[in-house]
Structure 1
Amino acid sequence: MAKQTEMFVLLFVCLSGLVQSTTAMIFWTAYVGVHFYDSSTNQTETRFCECGVYGRSSPLESAAGMVVLPASDPQGCSLDPYPSNDNTTTQGFWIALVKRGNCTFSEKIRAAWARGAAAVVVYNLDGTGNSSDYMAHSDTSGTVAIMIGNLQGVEIANIVRSGVAVSMVIEVGKAHGPWMDTYWLYFLSIAFFIVTGASIIYFGFISAHRLHSLRVIHLTDRRLRNEAKKAIGRLEVRTLKRGDEETKPDSHTCAVCIESYHPGDVVTVLTCGHLFHKACIEPWLLDKRTCPMCKADILKALGVEGPGEEESSSSSVPPPDVPIVTVSGGSGRELLYEVPLNDKHLPTPTLTPQPPTEARQPHHYDNIVFEGETHPQGNVATRG
């Protein structure tokens, strides 16, 4: 169970690290709305699209204001690129539109922020179409900054240069990731809750199983103890009297309490024939089951099986047949022994003596000098 717990903890840590690394790669899009008056059609044009990308350190906030271009440097990299006599820049409700290149994103954003810009919009390099990148500007975290495509940025810049006032609105869009956009976050969240729920269910199941096992063991012990008490109650109980053999000074003492027997003592006689004080032997049998002197299983003799004995007795299988050969040995009379060929099944082979098949014939010597009379015990007496 400890290994399983470690496995779930490791899985939780991995998922947490995956969520954190995925969150670092998620970027947010921006809705960009542009409003201006078209003198050729005498109508106000409104264009709205999800075509911007928030910078990595940009706050996810909305911004609105008039679009202002740098005075001389379209990249906005000079020390003070914005006109100082523009009423829009002095009021603070304006958005800087600069082109990518020549300096870092942080420098462009700081230059516009120093003049009070509400946001900075950077459009991409020439030849990139309407693609945009995920800007990095770690030291300008308090300024709203987005990037748009080159074609859109050039179009807005040309309208502003023609003297037409252009207002812009920036709204927070959607979160996007490297694989499934926001659905990847949903997937990770669901996976996290599934793993957490499975862990809770698993630990609940293990706890319930252990409680059930403990309850079964407790009930089994309780049943065996009750059966043991009833069986002990069937043992012979005597009250010793003066003159009984057990009360004599040289008789045995109770092996449990090591006290001599006295007239009036109540003793219990076990099935093996040994007797003990009733108050001593009953708790002993409930705990030990056996006679303190001969180690005989008293409760088993009374029909109370110990825990696990029924299963072991029912599962016991008699040993398979083992080939046996008969060998001869011994001196004097010829003895025959049965020896198993395979001792793997019978670790301690027994030697069973068999009656001799034929009587031992006396040995005859070629030289008559060595022949003598047979001794009554079977020895040959040689002649002197």
Structure 2
Amino acid sequence: MDLKVVQCVFFLVLSGLVRCSAAFVFWTALLEVSYPDPSNHTIKLYCECGVYGRNSPLEGASGRLVVPLQDSMGCGPYPVYSRNNSVPSWIALIQRGNCTFSEKINRAKDQGAAAIVVYNVEGTGNSTMHMSHPEAPGMVAVMIGHTVGLEIAKLVDRGIPVKMVIDVGSPNGLWMDTYWLYFLSIAFFFVTAASIGYFVFVSAHRIHSLRSQRNAERRLKTDAQKAIKQLEVRTVKKGDPETGADAQTCAVCIEAYKAGDVITVLTCGHIFHKACIEPWLLEKRTCPMCKCDILKALGVEDEDNKDEVSASSYPPPDVTVITVSRGEPLYEVPLTNPPTPEPQGYQQRYVNEAFEGDSQDRRG
């Protein structure tokens, strides 16, 4: 697996965690509640005990708290709040239940509330929830615990003017938890370290493979040079069999041998021009005609190189050698299976029509 692939997978997983965890992030609300006591002294209470709704804007709000007259849950068709028209800004204090949060918020908004505070149902203590109200966006909506909400609602029912100031608190949830951040940091460190380690391993493996391959090629060329020095080299003279009319040509350059040409005789007996065969042997180390390995034939191959010799050094099955004389094929010699004897009366068929025509002319 490539390094880029690993990084892409990591970031895809991380982005999926972000999307899945976004729903668990919520913002608390700072509440300041003030009201006069019997001696006309102002009592102020502070707490970070509210939670903003999922669809609520993170904004502050302030005003006098007002509760519904008949339905404390604010779910009636036209809930009437015990508010004084002289109060310019007021906040609806409603108990949770009986209808959706969106319905509570919209009905309070229709009657002019600046914000809405919902306190939890009985038996939940001071616990809150991250309430959802998708059909009532754009209005500040906060939930508080049942104990706190009920105490404030009793003050309002007794006719005590209670004022509340709502302010944005701090983010909380899965992503904001300290241990979760530690976990993400450690996970990111391990993934990064694994990616770097994988990259280093792959790079080292490739460098080692290239180095081994180059060393093997260098050793094989050295062995080939040793073998070439042991081959028979002679100069063709006038009257030698190589200069006759039926003599073979060099299979590399396809040219006839002439007097004065320097030729090399391989271990298999095939001859070539010295200038033609030596570059071939340095790269291939085999006879171009019969694939005979000169390193094995001369015994100069190192033990370490035996396993590194290319598969092309071995003769493939059913190889046929074509002996060429002055550009024309003379005969074919199979290297593997011996020729099957022809049945009596069998007439030889030639694939080369020109060759067949020449043969017929000779017979005629």
Please, what TM-score do these two structures have when normalized by structure 2?
A: 0.70
CA shift digits 1:306-334 (9 cap, x unpaired): 8741689xxxxxxxxxxxxxxxxxxxxxx
Match of 2:80 in 1: 81
Q: Does 1:47 align with 2:45?
A: yes
**Contact 1:160–1:166 (8 Å) recurs in 2:** no
Q: Secondary structure at the match of 2:170?
A: strand
CA shift digits 1:130-158 (9 cap, x unpaired): 23233221212322212111221122122
Q: More relative contact order in 1 or in 2 (CA 8 Å, sep 6+)? A: 2
Q: Does 1:211 align with 2:207?
A: yes
Which residue identity is paired with 2:61?
A
Quick one: which of 170, 173, 180 aligns to 1:173? 170
**Contact 2:62–2:164 (8 Å) recurs in 1:** yes
**Contact 1:30–1:51 (8 Å) recurs in 2:** yes
Displacement of 1:66: 3.1
Q: Secondary structure at the match of 2:129?
A: coil
Q: Secondary structure at the match of 1:77?
A: coil
**Contact 1:35–1:47 (8 Å) recurs in 2:** yes
Q: Secondary structure at the match of 1:87?
A: coil
Match of 2:58 in 1: 60
Quick one: which of 115, 122, 141 aligns to 1:119? 115
Output aligned runs, 1:228-243, within 5 Å. Answer: 228-229=224-225, 231-233=227-229, 235-243=231-239
Distance 1:95 1:211, change over 3 A: farther
Displacement of 1:202: 1.4
CA shift digits 1:54-111 (9 cap, x unpaired): 22322334333332333544322343534675233xx4x4322112233221111112
Distance 1:138 1:294, change over 3 A: closer
Q: Secondary structure at the match of 2:23?
A: helix
Distance 1:310 1:124, change over 3 A: closer
Q: Quick one: percent identity of the two aligned structures? A: 56
CA RMSD of aligned residues (A): 3.5
Displacement of 1:286: 2.4
Distance 1:20 1:308, change over 3 A: farther
Match of 1:303 in 2: 300
Match of 1:248 in 2: 244
Q: Secondary structure at the match of 1:289?
A: coil
**Contact 2:35–2:160 (8 Å) recurs in 1:** no
Distance in 2, matches of 1:306 and 1:287, equals: 19
Quick one: which of 187, 203, 208 aligns to 2:183? 187
Please, what TM-score do these two structures have when normalized by structure 1?
A: 0.67
Match of 2:336 in 1: none
Distance 1:237 1:195, change over 3 A: same
**Contact 1:58–1:141 (8 Å) recurs in 2:** yes
Which stretches in structure 2 are left out of the alignment for 5+ residues? 310-364
Match of 1:70 in 2: 68
Higher gyration radius (CA): 1
Distance 1:65 1:216, change over 3 A: farther
Distance in 2, matches of 1:287 and 1:307, equals: 18
Distance in 2, matches of 1:235 and 1:64, equals: 105
Q: Secondary structure at the match of 1:264?
A: coil
Count of residue correspondences:
306
Which residue identity is paired with 1:130?
N
Distance 1:102 1:274, change over 3 A: closer
Q: Does 1:35 align with 2:34?
A: yes
Quick one: which of 284, 290, 294 aligns to 1:288? 284
Distance 1:117 1:237, change over 3 A: farther
Distance in 2, matches of 1:205 and 1:32, equals: 57
- Greater shift, 18-27 or 115-124, is seen at 18-27
